Structure 1
């Protein structure tokens, strides 16, 4: 009987259901015959279609079912089921699980158990497409699942509705608290009556799972460590279980270990349970208090001090155990917490023994003078210990080089073809590749086309069709691909440069980039390419040396060619700001119109002003009113004298509207002599960046810092936003570099930082951390000018609510003022210092005002924040 002919027909007609019934009826000889012929059929089918083509994937279910039924070894079946040919890389879960289980149902139990384990160990991620089959086979066979973390995470992601009846529960539940990745899968579980939280609480309530096992599992997971996201679900489960003092008692040592370094929510949960326990010794309490006051979260430090105070009031004999934690609290970074720690030390001093008093005495030198004197009157007989060495900020680091030379041009068609096959992600590689295409096409068009054609033929043709069905090409890579297609005669249509120019609201720098690439494509089609491009940068800032640009234009004239229009305009924008008289003289001797433009060129000035606006659905409103905050953003206004060159004028004009962007990391390199214009384009995207999302890095800010031209409000807004991003510690390096070069607009950064902080775009703690780091590395005078300019924006009006963390910002300002020797009252600080009250913020404001006016008789700083520093000069 022709088993194979019938099986092949069912596979080619994709009748997987009928195929499953047919292969189950095969005898041993029939299975061997089909097993021998299946690889040949797969090879034949693969040859008909492109890799990952949907037509080939459509045969996947039938091929998988046939292979599962006929291959002899479990290893061979496992390998066959998950061949890459059977599903595209973006495939979802398998939809043929029932069919495969049916065709292997008559296999020996040991064979099916072996397959189950092999499939389980193949799992790599929780949403692996083979997860469903592996779990179902483990359940059917009763096989104990292997210790494999992705399997546990996948089980969690697709557990059955009746969790208590799942045969895998007893095996995998203990591993739920140990396997990597489970916390990420369950991080959004928050409803205690639904999902995994509800299911586990219900199992504990019915006795299917012991409460003690769940509590122990959570504690064990906490001790393993992890981020707040990794532990979020387990923290919620632990809180929902709400262990009683008796249930928490066996884990007292564990909870104590969690206090110093575990994520805040875990430490807070552990602290609450420890506070409710009656069996803590004095040493346990001292350990807990000391761990809490050492935390960076002020909420936990405050709670630790409150626990200490209440415990000592209830049991005065604990005062001696409280001495060391209180001494540790003298190093807190909050004026409020320092004040509280000193008050508690004084309040409980009568019960502190000699050893504890010695610990407090040693820590007094960490306190500010006014608090140190109060503590000294009780613990040292009225004298304050000699202070240690005063921290002296270092000088600014050496100025790094502004730029370096770029890689030499592409020299061979082989190199051009190789680079064209790689993904172009940087402007340097893009510029080099575009220039190489133009130059090599002029030297050896046929040879370049022959070198590029194999790359195109090896790629998927569907990509080409899809690109040429689009309405517009808005990315540089699309235009480069179009030029290559035109060069190799593989483009489906001609005049793509006319058909695909963007009609959307594309940002002006990206539009300039598109025009440059489109004119290259047009010149390829019309065979009018010049021998080389003019705008290819010579330096890492994006600049083109004037002498090199003249030499390129001479080469174009000598070849009897015309430079490309957008290419010339981009080259002019890349000229350094400092004129080169010799290069200008050479340009004047050229006969082409382009030579005349270059000879007469002077860097146009473009001014940028910012206006901060806030609006909601009900109309404009005062953005300082944070209770109604919806959207705050700065809108640039540009002033530039027209040059008569349309793309130059378009780019320098900086339209006052939001535009689509495609290559914003490239923009500073396109405007290396117009720093403020490039910053104005970048600013909206930087300002609106989510503080919880990933950040691209400080490279745009660093590129702006190394560009030429005035540094004003737009650059200040970009750098201020980066300084407030905790994911961009490199922004401090950018500040230091600009300061060392004398080009840091410190007062303007302060004003923009104040607006960003007041609007809630950045967090106060993040800004303080960045500015403190910069001050400690030599930029203390610049940080003082930043803080002095920000304070008038940040200080609340009478009766207004201050921003969270503002007292810490004032402390930073006072420290920077001290290091800089700043003098001169700031009117807003003076006025707030005169208000009634005793809050921590008011205390810090008064100390800052006293520092600024000490020895000046209260003289106002009439010159504003720019003149309140020491000897540092503003760029």
Structure 2
């Protein structure tokens, strides 16, 4: 046993199987006690020291356990699996003397662990082969197998069929059917191969029936089931490709009609298009009933994809030509297309109804006429042609009223928890939150400082019991002796952990002093610098609870946005003066950045009357009443990298000028705020940061923040990266003027690739309009510039403004588009999607009128062009509506 422990501590894992073979059961059990003690001991070591014993601990522990359940638990420990490749061959060798049934039990117990089964696949597969037990079919084991065979598949030659390797794999017959049950396929299965590459997974799956590895009905059902279930686009395309390669017969397709209907109704567009094609073929063959066609059409015609809706209208037209008697059942579902956002789709639906209306009964004709009468003015002539003049009706002379959402209301923060139990409860809740809100964080931080000042011992006792088991409480004794790696983690912490660790004695006063001195306010990017302010505040609060000499924090915001009422700040400073104390430098600097400055002459006089240095600085700050930094335009040109020419798209960005006053009022660690900032193309890696922190640091300087955050937002839009742009919505909720930086950011985001990002931009647009802070001319000009440089696409912008208009903000959207359209129409060849923009503008005019605006340059010339393109048709529609001055519904 002594030799075993020595080998473990000296990281001689390769010697362990031989040493274990010489030990009996009693010796192994005794050794296991020491191994467990060593495993616990290593948690306080540095990472490099831990790495040396992880592998031998894993091997030795596996060989010393006599129970299968305990052995599986030991092997699956995440602290033993580590980052390096585990020595599974040595683990199997360490258990060489166990009977096959025991080994099989361990294998199945490992396979049943969802968090580690995939990682330990290699070990499980070795145990399965050695014990000859049944092959596990759990999710983790299947994914591990798929990853392994996919890696081997990639190493094969291009023309070498992958199916040959699967034929030789003893696990394949059992695990191949499970592919369709796995929640998420390994990424290796979805790698793109050339069309004629025999290593492709979809080609291989389609050949399984011929190879005798999987029955064809099971394969077809598996693909159909996965397509019905939905999932990530890559997986959906994979199973759709496999299904197409199977080339289903007419009988196989007819047996699954309900499945195709479900896909056409709800699946992603490519899958829905395939299902629509299948149903179209079945309808032509007479295998699709009229009722089923009506059910399918009712769902598809409500989809937003124009191509799918147009194809469905064509399908309905063919069915009605073959069987006019089906008009009473099929024509009513066409009403769904009357509500489509695209005017061309609505016109196609009306014309389809007009062609087959004579075959419909009186009741159906009346129902269709009623639905058509609700269409907008653009369709009035066509409705009259189809149903008669009475159905078209006359426009009601009703004054248009803009509909905007209610303006966000600033919410006052609740005071810090007064009672100790309430504070402890909030601390625990805050520690469990993955992204705690700023108001909660601020209340708890202030509460800790207050209670540390009044009764530190009671606070420490309550927290010690409530926080048992925290990661930073397992590596030290509570006497300021945390291991070095733990201290490094604290430096990156954005929560209250450093404050708690100081209170409970896990961080020494020297560490706090070092961190306070180390903060210089600089970072790798503006995001890092902004988050650094929050981290500096946490360490400042840690110093406050360490000394207990501060009764509260002066920078705790008054409102949820992070803003601070100047009268409240004056009262806090007055209380500090009464107690003969001074607030912390970092705390007071953050308070200055948060205090409302506009029109605060009275508060400035009150602050000056305090007669303290902080009062004088606050008075000077309030009277200056200037932006933190002046924003100005700054365009970046194309750049060339070494060894590789990269055509960097010309981006429109903003810079900020130097503000010397900041250096006079704020401490050294905040001087970076007053430095001139020039934007760069280089992206940073803070996409997952808590964006609420950024706005809470500078809640009174939305323009400055917008200019600093613009390069990141612009990069995501131009490079078509999905982005969580909560910062844009947060910026619009802040008080103060909205200038070019905020409008330019909004212009970029309205053209984002992903619908979720565009929807957030629409929310920001409507909030600014509600607050009367939106400058439509400025926004239209910035959008026009971005379109001119190709930085955003017209069709995506059209989707955003259409969404905004449909909320009832037609006049707001039109006022923006009148500044955008001249630049779009000036192109000799209009960009793709320009017709969509004209269509949105036309719909706005039809609802709210022209509002007395002048003509749109280039519109008349575009409308006068020949042809029937979407651009020309929408230009004519807009020109006619503009000329008529259509007003209201």
Which TM-score tier does this pair reach, normalised by the shorter chain? 0.7 to 0.9
**Equivalences for residues 234-633 of structure 1 within 5 A:** 234-243=239-248, 245=250, 248-275=253-280, 279-281=285-287, 283=289, 286-287=293-294, 292-306=300-314, 323=331, 326=334, 328-344=336-352, 361=369, 363-365=371-373, 367-369=375-377, 371=379, 373-374=381-382, 376-377=384-385, 379-380=386-387, 383-384=390-391, 395-408=403-416, 419=427, 422=431, 427-428=438-439, 458-459=474-475, 465=484, 489-491=508-510, 497-498=516-517, 501=520, 506-507=525-526, 510=530, 513=533, 517=537, 520=540, 534-558=554-578, 567-580=587-600, 582-600=602-620, 601-606=622-627, 611=633, 613=635, 615-617=637-639, 630-633=649-652
**Equivalences for residues 38-187 of structure 1 within 5 A:** 38-47=32-41, 49-50=43-44, 55-56=49-50, 58-88=52-82, 91=83, 94-96=86-88, 98-104=89-95, 107-124=98-115, 128-146=118-136, 148-159=138-149, 161=153, 162-182=165-185, 186-187=189-190
SS in 2 for 1:688: helix
- Tell me the distance in 2 between the aligned counterparts of 1:536 and 1:11: 52
Tell me whether 390-399 or 322-331 shows the greater mean CA deviation: 390-399
- Tell me the distance in 1 between the aligned counterparts of 2:703 and 2:597: 13
1:634 aligns with 2:653: yes
Segments of 5+ residues of structure 2 without an aligned counterpart are 154-164
Tell me whether 111-120 or 268-277 shows the greater mean CA deviation: 268-277
Distance verdict in 2 for CA 1:319–1:132, change over 3 Å = same
Tell me whether 418-427 or 214-223 shows the greater mean CA deviation: 418-427
SS in 1 for 2:112: helix
Give the CA deviation at 1:234.
0.9
- Tell me the distance in 2 between the aligned counterparts of 1:448 and 1:110: 55
Give the CA deviation at 1:836.
3.7
1:653-711, Cα deviation, whole Å (9 max, x unpaired): 7623349777753333333333322322233333333686564453x334333322211
Distance verdict in 2 for CA 1:546–1:296, change over 3 Å = closer
SS in 1 for 2:818: helix
**Equivalences for residues 204-223 of structure 1 within 5 A:** 204=209, 206-211=211-216, 213-223=218-228
1:801 aligns with 2:830: yes
1:65-111, Cα deviation, whole Å (9 max, x unpaired): 444445444323322322345234xx365431x33334545544443
Distance verdict in 2 for CA 1:583–1:605, change over 3 Å = closer
Q: Which residue in 1 is equivalent to 2:878?
A: 848
SS in 1 for 2:654: strand
- Tell me the distance in 2 between the aligned counterparts of 1:752 and 1:722: 12
Residues 184 and 230 in structure 1, CA contact (< 8 A), matched pair in contact too: no
Distance verdict in 2 for CA 1:326–1:428, change over 3 Å = closer
Distance verdict in 2 for CA 1:463–1:231, change over 3 Å = farther
Q: Which residue in 1 is equivalent to 2:160?
A: none
**Equivalences for residues 179-198 of structure 1 within 5 A:** 179-182=182-185, 186-192=189-195, 193=197, 194-198=199-203
Give the CA deviation at 1:439.
6.7
Residues 631 and 655 in structure 2, CA contact (< 8 A), matched pair in contact too: yes
**Equivalences for residues 637-652 of structure 1 within 5 A:** 645=664, 647=666, 651=673
- Tell me the distance in 1 between the aligned counterparts of 2:571 and 2:512: 36
Residues 191 and 198 in structure 1, CA contact (< 8 A), matched pair in contact too: no
- Tell me the distance in 1 between the aligned counterparts of 2:446 and 2:592: 17
Residues 675 and 704 in structure 1, CA contact (< 8 A), matched pair in contact too: yes
Residues 637 and 656 in structure 1, CA contact (< 8 A), matched pair in contact too: yes
Match of 1:16 among 1, 13, 21: 13
Residues 228 and 264 in structure 1, CA contact (< 8 A), matched pair in contact too: no
Give the CA deviation at 1:262.
1.2
Match of 1:827 among 856, 864, 868: 856
TM-score w.r.t. the length of structure 2 is 0.78
Distance verdict in 2 for CA 1:140–1:842, change over 3 Å = farther
- Tell me the distance in 1 between the aligned counterparts of 2:547 and 2:257: 81
Tell me whether 766-775 or 817-826 shows the greater mean CA deviation: 766-775
Give the CA deviation at 1:6.
4.7
SS in 2 for 1:727: helix
TM-score w.r.t. the length of structure 1 is 0.79
SS in 2 for 1:403: coil
Distance verdict in 2 for CA 1:356–1:101, change over 3 Å = farther
Tell me whether 676-685 or 643-652 shows the greater mean CA deviation: 643-652
- Tell me the distance in 1 between the aligned counterparts of 2:492 and 2:110: 44
- Tell me the distance in 2 between the aligned counterparts of 1:511 and 1:42: 40
- Tell me the distance in 2 between the aligned counterparts of 1:610 and 1:749: 16
Distance verdict in 2 for CA 1:556–1:849, change over 3 Å = same
Distance verdict in 2 for CA 1:748–1:464, change over 3 Å = farther
SS in 1 for 2:625: coil
Residues 119 and 144 in structure 2, CA contact (< 8 A), matched pair in contact too: no
- Tell me the distance in 2 between the aligned counterparts of 1:129 and 1:84: 10
- Tell me the distance in 2 between the aligned counterparts of 1:483 and 1:76: 34
Residues 260 and 291 in structure 1, CA contact (< 8 A), matched pair in contact too: yes
Segments of 5+ residues of structure 1 without an aligned counterpart are 620-626, 857-868, 871-875
Q: Which residue in 1 is equivalent to 2:162?
A: none
- Tell me the distance in 1 between the aligned counterparts of 2:70 and 2:589: 63
- Tell me the distance in 1 between the aligned counterparts of 2:535 and 2:35: 49
1:448-482, Cα deviation, whole Å (9 max, x unpaired): 99999999775479986359899x97987799679
SS in 1 for 2:652: strand
Give the CA deviation at 1:42.
1.6
1:755-791, Cα deviation, whole Å (9 max, x unpaired): 5566666665665555445444453432332333333
Residues 68 and 100 in structure 1, CA contact (< 8 A), matched pair in contact too: yes
Residues 293 and 304 in structure 1, CA contact (< 8 A), matched pair in contact too: yes
Distance verdict in 2 for CA 1:384–1:462, change over 3 Å = farther
Match of 2:811 among 781, 785, 802: 781
Residues 532 and 556 in structure 1, CA contact (< 8 A), matched pair in contact too: no
SS in 2 for 1:634: strand
- Tell me the distance in 2 between the aligned counterparts of 1:780 and 1:83: 60
Give the CA deviation at 1:297.
1.4
Distance verdict in 2 for CA 1:139–1:754, change over 3 Å = farther
- Tell me the distance in 2 between the aligned counterparts of 1:164 and 1:638: 69
Tell me whether 410-419 or 139-148 shows the greater mean CA deviation: 410-419
